[in-house]
Amino acid sequence: MHPILVVVGFFIVLHVVQRALEFRRLARGLGNFPGARQLFSPATIAGHRLPKIPGIISGGQTSLLLRKYQAFVEAGWDGYTTVCGWPRPEGFIGLADAAAIKEVSMHRARFPKPNRNYDLMTRLFGENIVEADGEQWKRYRKLAAPAFSEKNNTLVWNEAVQIMNDLFNDVWHDAPETTIEHVVDITMPARPCPIPSRSFRFGRRISWTDDSIPEGHRMSFKDTLHTVSSDIIFLVIVPKWAMNWMKRTRKLQVAYEEMKQYMTEMVHARRNAETKEERGDLLSGLVDEGGESPLSDSELNGNISVFLVAGHETTAHTVAFCLGLLALYQDKQEVMFQQIKSVIKELGRMPASSTSPSCPFQCLSALYEALRMKPSLPGIQKMSGQDQALMVSNLRGEKATIPVPKGTFITINAIGLHHNPRYWEDPEDYKPERFLGDWPRDAFLAFSGGELLLSSTFAEIESIAMLVMLVSKYKIEIKDEPQFAAETFEERKARILTSKMGLTTAPIRIPLTFKKR
């Protein structure tokens, strides 16, 4: 055999042996706790996008959506470990134990965010509150927090109600029946994202009929926001040189460039305004309140993009799932309608705010139950900043300790937690009433525990306003389609709730018919 081949072969074998020893060391470091041992890391692009293949790949966020609590059943505990060998040996822990998750969430110094998993929006737009940690996170939060006031809550509610009235009058033209091929077509444009709404106004307001393209732009603000929100994942997985190969990615590239231009113009207009109006809105906090350490252009663009893009998609998809579930469960929809009807009769008008005592509580419970079944992010990523340990339990009430070496990646498995029968009876069933009495608050991560939104309050307000308006005026049903005439209820439910991972959990297709009451 040629000497060079012998040398190459020797180094290959040496490398494999070193990897195998490191793999074994990691497993021992995790206490050989039950779980998966596999080739590919779930942190790779392949790990996020490909389906689960035992011993090869876990399937990432997509697998979490499909398997829900199953991985914990297989491990026998509300925690499991994963050790992978490529591209480097790494250890992972998955959690569906409420107490362990609370410990990880509350101790940010011990369990920081892994930067490599939180750099999507930073790479695309700039530093932002979602991907920041430590002192930087505190700084961003302090600047943005004043905008989340009760006054602005009312303004957001009024804006959402107005947008829904515009939908009924200007788009549906008060028709007795309207069919939507995919409900996201109305929840995505309808959602009054924090930027265009009156309380957060950055100089733009989205309406149903205004598709005008300002001078110097190639796309309307509404089309820009919708395109980037829907297809942002392609900006990550498609190389820039390949963006021109398909019509969809060409449009996305234009929208991405337009989004940055719109954000730059918003900031420039506020900085150079002759009068300072609407103090207390989000843009004022970010642009004007930096004191001796104002935000850079990159930080401004990054934080604006989070509220524009991530918030826009998150709420739109949550409302879409909720409407699909209400269409499936007609009895739950009828309970909600009767309560809304009762409130309107008592007040003589629509509720004035989702935070008022008069707001129908059935709407909030319906929204929460949709979020329980379809959380915005099925998995939230953390990392161990030091050698430590976590206590987990199982269905029998037994407890066990998982060693957590420094550098171990931790997945707060939101969808596993939400389907854990220790906390939720009949977790596969849609039961909004479970949120009307005492319920396990530590076992519920509304809007992914705030990782995607600074505050869930605005998201709840917008969502509830849309639900109140739609259910009060329309009976919502699944669209009748001949090819699905013979399907059972469970088959229909599975079809309607089929989802995929984009920036957040997104429905594939929810066709609905709205019949005027």
What pTM was estimated for this model as a whole? 0.89
Residue 54 in tokens: 């035992």
Report d(CA 504, CA 488) in Å as an integer.
29
| The pLDDT value given to residue 45 | 57
Q: Count CA atoms within 13 Å of residue 103 on its CB side.
A: 14
Report d(CA 444, CA 371) in Å as an integer.
9
Every domain of the chain and the residues it spans:
3-125+381-418, 136-379+420-516
Between these two residues, 312 and 136, which has the higher pLDDT value?
136
pLDDT tens by residue, 240-267? 889 999 999 999 999 999 988 988 888 7
Nearest to 187 by CA among 476, 457, 494, 498: 476
pLDDT tens by residue, 50-92? 667 788 877 777 788 889 999 999 999 999 999 998 888 899 9
Residue 340 in tokens: 């809304």
Report d(CA 370, CA 132) in Å as an integer.
28
Side chain identity, residue 466? M
pLDDT tens by residue, 336-369? 999 998 888 877 777 766 655 556 678 889 999 9
Q: How many CB atoms lie within 10 A of CB 252?
A: 21
* Band of pLDDT at residue 124, cut at 50, 70 and 90: confident
Nearest to 463 by CA among 377, 348, 376: 376
Q: Are 35 and 80 in contact (CB under 8 A)?
A: yes
Residue 173: exposed, middle, or buried by beta-carbon count in 10 A (0-12, 13-18, 19+)? Answer: exposed
The residue assigned the tokens 């530093």 is 127
Report d(CA 187, CA 323) in Å as an integer.
10
Report d(CA 341, CA 182) in Å as an integer.
27
Residue 201 in tokens: 């106004």
Q: How many CB atoms lie within 10 A of CB 7?
A: 10
The residue assigned the tokens 């939104």 is 453
Residue 494 has pLDDT above 90, yes or no: yes
CATH class as words, domain 136-379+420-516: mainly alpha
| The pLDDT value given to residue 246 | 92
What size, in residues, is the chain?
Answer: 517
| The pLDDT value given to residue 153 | 76
Q: Which residues contact 437 (CB under 8 A, 6 or more apart)?
A: none
| The pLDDT value given to residue 285 | 63
